[in-house]
Amino acid sequence: MKRAITTVLAGAAILIAGAFGAAAAAAAETAVEPDPQIAAMLESVPGGVALDAYHAVWPELDMEMAVAAPRADSYSARSSAIASVGACATGKVCAFSLSGTNGAKLSWGTCNTSFPVGTFTVRSIADARSSGYMQAKYGTTVRATAYAGNWTNVYGTVSRISCVS
C-alpha cells in the first residue's frame, strides 16, 4: 500500500512539473508586442531594449522610456510621484509627451551630454536633480529650460535633450 501511494505521488509530481515547465516554455516563446510609442522609439534610437510592452531602456545612453499601461485605477500614478519633480524620479532628467509632466516619459540618469529623442514628441521636461539644468532643443534653438528641482512645458519641435550639471 505504501509503495502504491509513493508511486502515485511521484507520478503526480512529475505531471505537475511537466505542466509548469510547458507553461513556462510557452510564455518564453511568446513575444510581447511593445506599445506603439515604445516601438517607434526603438526604431528611431538604436540600442534600445523593450523590457515589456510599456518599458524600454537604452543602456548605452542611460535612457529609459515608460508609457502608461491601461489601468482601472490611478494608484500607481500617485505612488510614483513620491520624491520627484512631477512624475520624474529624484536624480533623473525627464521628457514627457504631454504638458505638466504627464503622458509617456523618457528619463536619463546621466548628465553633461545631449540625448536624441527620436520620434518622441516632447511637451514638458523636468529636472529632478539637486543642481544644474536641462534644455529641450531643436538643433541649436532652445525650446525650454528646466532648472534643478523644477519642470516646464515645451512649445515647438524638439530633437534633443541637453543636460548640464
| pLDDT one-digit tens code per residue, 113-163 | 888 999 999 999 999 999 999 999 999 999 999 999 999 999 999 999 999
pTM: 0.67
* Confidence band for 111, pLDDT divided at 50, 70 and 90: confident
Number of separate domains in the chain: 2
Domain shared by 2 and 55, yes or no:
no
Domain shared by 132 and 99, yes or no:
yes
Domain shared by 22 and 64, yes or no:
no
Here the cell at position 59 is 543602456
Domain shared by 100 and 134, yes or no:
yes
H/E segment holding residue 8: helix 2-29
Q: What is the pLDDT of residue 73?
A: 47
Instruction: Supply the range of the domain harboring residue 13.
Output: 1-30
Domain shared by 154 and 120, yes or no:
yes
| Radius of gyration for the chain, computed over Cα atoms and rounded to the nearest angstrom | 22
Domain shared by 42 and 26, yes or no:
no
Residue 1 predicted with pLDDT over 90: no
Domain shared by 78 and 151, yes or no:
yes
Summarize the confidence of residues 98-103 as an average pLDDT. 94
**For residue 114, what are the contacts with CB-CB under 8 A and spacing of at least 6?**
137, 160, 161, 162, 163
